[in-house]
Amino acid sequence: MATKTEKAAPKAAKTTKADEKAAKPAKAAKVAAPKAAGAKPNALQQPLKPSADLGAIVGTSPLPRGEVVSKVWDYIKKHNLQNPENKREILADDKLKKVFGKDKCSMFEMNKHLAAHLKS
């Protein structure tokens, strides 16, 4: 004999495969547009020449802005220049002081200082 809780529990509706397919959203097909042969790189991909001060950290060859930022972060982490109490703050060593112009810099204002040392 069934208990009261078994009688009160509603039966789950049976679903078919067609119901499951209808419930799933259709995936949008991504089609990669072919790049033109002489396509101009966007602003973030355009190689920029670093100044002599910045070149001491990232090298003197022209690099895209994203790679410059990445190499500066690699330098910061390699030399343990993040403030241990506030990881957003960078404690500049002698090389970074020339780029930042001060002893400390937040990670948000770092890009502003880097932009001043990059020329097209």
List beta partners, residue 106: 89
In the chain, how many domains are there? Answer: 1
66-97 tens-digit pLDDT:
999 999 999 999 999 999 999 999 999 999 99
Q: What is the mean pLDDT of residues 43-71?
A: 90
pLDDT over 80 at 38, yes or no? no
* Residue 105 counted as domain residue: yes
80: in domain: yes
**Does residue 14 lie within any of the structural domains?**
no
Q: The domain containing residue 96 runs over which residues?
A: 47-119
Query: What average pLDDT does this structure show over 60-71?
Result: 92
Does residue 7 fall inside a structural domain? no
Q: Does any domain span residue 104?
A: yes
For residue 42, the model assigns a pLDDT of 77
CATH number at residue 52: 1.10.245.10
Where do runs of H (alpha helix) occur along the chain?
Answer: 4-8, 17-23, 52-58, 65-78, 94-100, 110-115
Threshold 0.85, pTM exceeds:
no
